[in-house]
């Protein structure tokens, strides 16, 4: 009679080692291995770089557009940002960085994407030029409800009841902060609405094109940034007044140069954060950056907030944070 081998008890059931194809618990490989300290440190550096680049880009651009001559050079400033971004991304594909592989896409396929890209950047710069930093940043929070509305109108995509409540909180919060800006700068309010609508359209379109082209965001950006510069060239004589560089203060020119570097570092670090961590991490970083930008903006402008405006900020940021977590948990 054949002697039975030893049996192993797992969760109350006896399993023979010879009859089971699964490995014993102590022999199973670990599913998730913690990131080494070095990798965590590098990720933290990219997050820090992204935060610094965001703050630097906003404050440098605000200083540039406060200059009388450069205030009328919106397209030229955008073209400089596109050129700097394309240059940094191209260098990132070369040795020793090799952050991603460069590919070439058809300019005809990219033309609509470039049009949306240019529109949202130009309108964003105009919003920054005609609004305070605080209101500019809060208006950007309205991009989320705008994406939801456009997705429903274009693709009949719906959201849950709790996500809708979060959207209403964002809208009410931003509305409470509009009061002081609406009294002095109606044109700035209109530009801000156009800016976050164009941003929402760009985000929807870019997501679709990344899927259609089967490329990474940075590969698409490397192709569309230089093409966007060429797309804007014919419009410069119509909308921009050529500045007298010698009359522009040296400090403002340095701010202009720094804004292009910050724009490129922001784009590159944004892609690397998502690639190294997750969308949840990037959303948390985004909301922390919003709070920092609002704080620095109002502090630099000497703004004293009313209780209604403070409630509006809490509602807008809280609604955006809740919506981000609810949308991620649906995936």
| 164-173 residue pLDDT tens | 888 788 778 7
pTM exceeds cut of 0.75: no
Rounded percentage of the chain residues whose pLDDT exceeds 90: 9
Task: Give the span between the Cα atoms of 5 and 8, in whole angstroms.
Answer: 10
Residue 92 has pLDDT above 50, yes or no: yes
Q: Residue written as tokens 């190294």?
A: 276
Using the Cα atoms of residue 190, residue 192, residue 196 and residue 199 in order, give the sign of their dihedral: positive
> Of 14 and 38, which is predicted with more confidence?
38
Q: Which two tokens stand for residue 160?
A: 């849950």
Q: Place 26 in a pLDDT band, splitting at 50, 70 and 90.
A: very low
Q: Place 80 in a pLDDT band, splitting at 50, 70 and 90.
A: very high
**255 backbone dihedrals φ, ψ, rounded to 5°:** -65, -40
C-alpha angle with apex 51: 45 to 55, nearest 5 degrees? Answer: 145
pLDDT mean over 154-183: 74
Residue 145 has pLDDT above 50, yes or no: yes
DSSP structure class, residue 223: H
Query: pLDDT value at position 285?
Result: 58
């Amino acid at each position: 009679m054949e002697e039975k081998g030893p049996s192993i008890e797992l969760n109350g059931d006896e399993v023979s080692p010879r009859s089971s194809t699964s490995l014993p618990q102590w022999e199973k490989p670990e599913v998730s291995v913690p990131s080494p300290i070095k990798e965590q440190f590098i990720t933290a550096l990219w997050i820090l770089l992204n935060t610094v680049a965001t703050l630097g880009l906003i404050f440098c651009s605000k200083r540039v557009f406060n200059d009388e001559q450069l205030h009328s050079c919106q397209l030229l400033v955008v073209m400089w940002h596109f050129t700097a971004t394309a240059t940094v991304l191209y260098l990132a594909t070369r040795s020793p960085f090799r952050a991603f592989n460069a590919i070439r896409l058809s300019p005809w396929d990219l033309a609509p994407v470039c049009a949306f890209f240019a529109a949202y950047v130009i309108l964003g710069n105009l919003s920054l030029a005609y609004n305070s930093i605080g209101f500019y940043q809060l208006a950007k929070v309205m991009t989320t409800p705008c994406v939801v509305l456009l997705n429903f109108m274009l693709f009949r995509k719906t959201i849950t009841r709790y996500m809708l409540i979060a959207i209403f909180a964002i809208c009410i919060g931003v509305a409470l902060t509009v009061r002081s800006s609406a009294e002095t700068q109606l044109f700035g309010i209109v530009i801000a609405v156009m800016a976050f609508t164009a941003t929402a359209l760009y985000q929807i379109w870019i997501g679709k094109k990344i899927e259609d082209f089967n490329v990474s965001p940075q590969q698409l950006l490397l192709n569309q940034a230089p093409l966007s510069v060429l797309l804007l060239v014919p419009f410069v004589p119509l909308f921009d007044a050529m500045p007298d560089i010698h009359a522009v203060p040296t400090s403002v020119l340095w701010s202009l140069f720094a804004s292009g570097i910050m724009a490129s570092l922001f784009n590159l670090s944004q892609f690397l954060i998502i690639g190294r961590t997750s969308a949840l991490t990037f959303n948390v970083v985004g909301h922390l950056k919003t709070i920092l930008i609002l704080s620095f903006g109002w502090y630099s402008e000497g703004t004293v907030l009313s209780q209604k405006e403070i409630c509006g900020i809490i509602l807008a940021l809280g609604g955006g944070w809740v919506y981000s977590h609810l949308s991620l948990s649906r995936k």
